[in-house]
């Protein structure tokens, strides 16, 4: 056996492109020094990453960094999907950041660099073939976000959010690492596929504990109850585009990591009950607490906690023997991926609309600040309402409707009728607050308190959004409408 490994560079191309984007952004900021140029380089790099991922992924599975049959880098159809979605989300968030970068004190170069770094983590994550690559990729995805969350200068909430996020996230990573170490100690393997073979015997000591630690550590990343408490505070303190990134890309990262270990490495007998319990708790608690929120971003944060529960729900079928049949399992994983894709598109549209409706660089504000917003700004308001309805899973938000249908179908195929009923009842609770927010948009605008006094909200929303925000909003909404009418596109990609 040769000591020098041959490296399949084409398989690594998407990761090269993503990392190269980050470096180029730094260079552009250093050499050109104009905000526009930096952002343009970032956007071009992100697009190149996305295209590269699709091109590489379309040609079938490519592996590299292999020891025998076990590979640390497996770029297959799902990896391409994950990388493509990450690129799209990053592009969208860059668009949303336009007003923030233009006017404010935010350093443009650093901002774009950190975002590109985070995207690199996401691209690597989808292709990770062993636990260490997976955890390092997840950390690469998360680490830049600690800084990005704290970027609202002079805002105490922002600093608090960053610290909360940092502490919780580091603890979660430690827990996952401990689980991985125990798994290694018990089985002697780290490659996901190899673990899948070994861990079929759950009576190996330590395996259940190790599995539980890995799953729980990753549950922090998707903000599943009871490991969710960081999410609302962090989202609310972060700049709006970063909150959008957190609730879409970062959450998608957690889901991908969780799916990778659950699907390929860990024994379903152990993960099934844990995941079913997590799913039920997450959607129920998320929805119930969201009912009482008064601040827009907190409401969206709690709703995205609940949405994580819907994503986990199909995995809950592993709890029953019928749900562990091979085709049912495959369907459940595909349903989770499909729901996650539907969700991130609609969620991005919701955040984009919120950015468009709020003053440049402002935080999400209270629900009352959005009173009558759709009457002043019919298009952005309608897009927001459509996204909210989609999150609630009702027509005309067909993307969200089909997402719910996919989950319920996968759960019932696994014979877990009770779980389907829990999902169904949660959809009703969810509608209550989505409807409240949507109705606020169309309520009568508040009457000016008194003519002479300066109103409480001095910075009123602009008459129209900056063009990058409008483009991002239009793109996300159009994408949501397209996958709403042709959900088969997503379902096909998800089952690859």
**Which residue lies nearer to another protein by CB, 202 or 395?**
395
Residue 200 contacts another protein per CB under 8 A: no
Residue 117 vs residues 1, 137, 142, 252, 340: alpha-carbon distances, Å: 35, 10, 9, 16, 22
Q: Candidates 270, 394, 466, 480: give the one binding another protein (CB under 8 A).
A: 394
Compute CA distances 428 → 19, 416, 431, 441, whole Å: 43, 19, 5, 20
286 binds another protein (CB under 8 A): no
Please identify which residue in the block is written with the tokens 């063009």: 467
Site for another protein in 435-454 (CB under 8 A): 435-436, 439, 442
Q: Does 424 bind another protein (CB under 8 A)?
A: yes
Write phi, then psi, for 265 (nearest 5 degrees).
Answer: -110, -45
Q: Which of 33, 197, 417, 445 binds another protein (CB under 8 A)?
A: 417
Determine if 45 is a binding residue for another protein (CB under 8 A): no
For residue 339, the minimal CB distance to another protein (Å) is: 13
Task: Give the Cα separation of 275 and 309 in Å (integer).
Answer: 9
- For tokens 């490991």, what's the residue? 227
Among 36, 105, 202, 395, binds another protein (CB under 8 A): 395
Q: Under 8 Å CB-to-CB from 465, ≥6 apart: which residues?
A: 99, 355, 356, 357, 380, 473
Least distance to another protein from the beta carbon of 314, Å? 13
Query: Measuring CA to CA, which residue among 89, 90, 73, 88 is closest to residue 15?
Result: 73
Cβ closer to another protein: 33 or 445? 445
Question: Is 367 a binder of another protein (CB under 8 A)?
Answer: no
Identify which range of 47-55, 232-240, 303-311, 390-398 contacts another protein by CB under 8 A: 390-398
Q: Please report how close the Cβ of residue 57 comes to another protein at its closest, in angstroms.
A: 20
**63 three-state secondary structure:** strand
The distance of closest approach from Cβ of residue 317 to another protein in the complex, given in angstroms and rounded to an integer, is 11
Tell me which of 404, 461, 470, 481 binds another protein, using CB under 8 A. Answer: 404
The full 3-state SS of 407-421, as one line of letters, equals: HHHHHHHCCCHHHHH
* Interface with another protein, residue 455, by CB under 8 A: no
What per-residue string of b and e applies to 78-100 under the rule 16 or more CB within 10 Å gives b? bbbbbbbbbbbbbbbbbbbbbbb
Interface positions with another protein (CB under 8 A):
389, 394-396, 398, 401-402, 404-406, 408-409, 412-413, 417, 420-421, 424-425, 427-428, 431-432, 435-436, 439, 442, 486-488, 491-492, 495
């Amino acid at each position: 056996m040769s000591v020098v490994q041959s490296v399949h560079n084409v398989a690594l191309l998407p990761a090269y492109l993503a990392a190269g984007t980050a470096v180029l952004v730094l260079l552009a900021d250093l050499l050109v020094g104009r905000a526009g140029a930096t952002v343009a380089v970032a956007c071009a790099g992100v697009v190149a990453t996305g295209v590269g991922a699709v091109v590489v992924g379309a040609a079938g599975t490519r592996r590299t960094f292999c020891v025998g049959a076990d590979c640390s880098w497996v770029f297959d159809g799902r990896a391409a999907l994950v990388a493509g979605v990450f690129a799209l989300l990053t592009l969208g968030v860059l668009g949303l950041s336009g007003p923030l970068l233009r006017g404010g004190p935010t350093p443009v170069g650093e901002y774009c660099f950190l975002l590109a770094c985070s995207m690199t983590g996401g691209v690597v994550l989808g292709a990770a073939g062993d636990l260490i690559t997976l955890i390092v990729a997840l950390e690469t995805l998360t680490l830049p976000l600690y800084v990005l969350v704290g970027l609202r200068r002079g805002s105490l909430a922002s600093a608090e959010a960053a610290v909360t996020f940092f502490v919780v996230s580091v603890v979660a990573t430690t827990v996952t690492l401990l689980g991985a170490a125990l798994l290694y100690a018990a089985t002697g393997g780290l490659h996901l596929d190899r673990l899948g073979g070994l861990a079929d015997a759950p009576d190996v000591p330590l395996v259940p504990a190790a599995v539980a630690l890995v799953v729980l550590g990753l549950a922090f990343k998707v903000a599943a109850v009871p490991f969710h408490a960081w999410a609302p505070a962090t989202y609310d303190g972060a700049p709006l585009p970063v909150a959008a990134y957190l609730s879409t890309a970062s959450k998608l990262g957690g889901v991908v990591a969780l799916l990778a270990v659950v699907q390929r490495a860990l024994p379903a007998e152990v993960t099934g009950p844990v995941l079913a319990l997590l799913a039920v708790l997450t959607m129920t608690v998320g929805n119930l607490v969201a009912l009482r929120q008064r601040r827009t971003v907190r409401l969206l944060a709690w709703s995205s906690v609940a949405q994580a529960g819907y994503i986990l729900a199909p995995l809950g079928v592993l709890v029953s023997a019928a749900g562990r049949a091979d085709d049912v399992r495959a369907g459940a994983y595909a349903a989770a991926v499909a729901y996650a894709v539907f969700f991130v598109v609609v969620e991005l549209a919701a955040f984009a609309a919120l950015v468009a409706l709020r003053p440049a660089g402002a935080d999400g504000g209270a629900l009352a600040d959005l009173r009558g917003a759709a009457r002043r700004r019919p298009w952005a308001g309608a897009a927001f309402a459509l996204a909210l309805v989609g999150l609630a899973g009702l027509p005309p938000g067909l993307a969200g409707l089909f997402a719910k249908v996919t989950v319920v179908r996968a759960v019932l195929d696994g014979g877990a009728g009770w779980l389907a009923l829990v999902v169904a009842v949660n959809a009703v609770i969810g509608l209550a607050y989505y409807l409240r927010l949507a109705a606020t948009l169309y309520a009568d605008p508040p009457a000016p308190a008194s003519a002479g006094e300066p109103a409480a909200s001095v910075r009123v929303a602009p008459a129209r959004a900056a063009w990058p925000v409008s483009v991002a909003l239009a793109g996300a909404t159009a994408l949501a409408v397209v996958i709403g009418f042709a959900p088969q596109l997503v379902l096909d990609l998800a089952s690859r």
